[in-house]
Amino acid sequence: RKEVEQDPGPFNVPEGATVAFNCTYSNSASQSFFWYRQDCRKEPKLLMSVYSSGNEDGRFTAQLNRASQYISLLIRDSKLSDSATYLCVVTRDMRFGAGTRLTVKP
Amino acid sequence: DGGITQSPKYLFRKEGQNVTLSCEQNLNHDAMYWYRQDPGQGLRLIYYSQIVNDFQKGDIAEGYSVSREKKESFPLTVTSAQKNPTAFYLCASSGAASGNTIYFGEGSWLTVV
């Protein structure tokens, strides 16, 4: 089993849709979790950290479920500019998920 | 400005040659990493270092070598033993002071010709 696994995607959604990604991890001792966004042919950039209590940043909400060992990212009111690949990372393992490709269409 | 600098951004290598990718950070981070990304794929960990003069193999270390003689620098050598080196290489660093968030350089594109 891989240390970090993500929904395979791709996700193709219309503008304004709500979309959710999940990411499971295998190391129960993992402590730090993040979501990154990667545009084509660019480096990944931090989107948001994931806290145990859940956290929200505008249209983006991240949650952590330690019991089931997964994190999630919810994007509300999708914009064309949200089109990218979204990566989760578990920093204890320093492993990234394979990424989920999101395309938001007009 | 604080950040991670990778060079060169684009590199062409002939088969059988070694090539070294540079990575320098001025974020005072203890940990540094090298990842490889193939088209349409995720990031795979090559090597990482959590402290000067120490480093560990990641998932795909074969055909690569690294050194960590200074806190700021973590160069990656792609040796001739690496069978399919053409890829996008990303250097990253993290530190406790920044909540262990991983920051990336802009990447180096290596093409074997």
> Any idea which residue has 């500019």 for tokens?
A81
d(CA B82, CA B12): 15
Residue of chain B with shortest Cα separation from A91: B100
Residue A103 confidence (pLDDT): 97
CB contact under 8 A, A44 and B100: no
Tens digits of pLDDT across chain A (106 residues): 678 899 878 999 999 999 999 999 988 777 789 999 999 999 999 999 998 888 999 999 999 999 999 999 999 999 999 999 999 998 777 889 899 999 999 9
pLDDT value, residue B6: 98
Minimum-distance CB partner of B94 among A42, A91, A97: A91
Report the alpha-carbon distance of residue B91 to residue B71 in Å, rounded: 14
Tell me the nearest-neighbour CA distance from A33 into chain B, angstroms.
Answer: 9
Q: Is A34 on the interface with B (CB under 8 A)?
A: yes
Say whether B43 and A44 touch across the interface (CB within 8 A).
yes
Asked if A7 has any chain B CB less than 8 Å from its own CB, the reply is no
What number of other Cβ atoms are within 10 A of residue B50's Cβ?
Answer: 14
A76 touches chain B (CB under 8 A): no
Asked if B91 contacts B77 with a C-beta cutoff of 8 angstroms, the reply is: no
For B20-33, give the DSSP string: EEEEEE-S--SEEE
Alpha carbon distance B51, B29 (integer Å): 9
- Closest approach of chain A CAs to the CA of B104, in angstroms? 6
Task: For A82, list phi and psi in degrees, rounded to 5.
Answer: -80, -10
The span from the CA of B72 to the CA of B49, in Å, is 11
Report phi then psi at B107, rounded to 5.
95, 160
CB-based contact B94:B100 (threshold 8 Å):
yes
pLDDT in tens, B33-79: 999 999 888 999 999 999 999 999 999 999 999 999 999 999 999 99
Of A34, A97, A98, which has the smallest distance from its Cβ to B101's Cβ?
A34
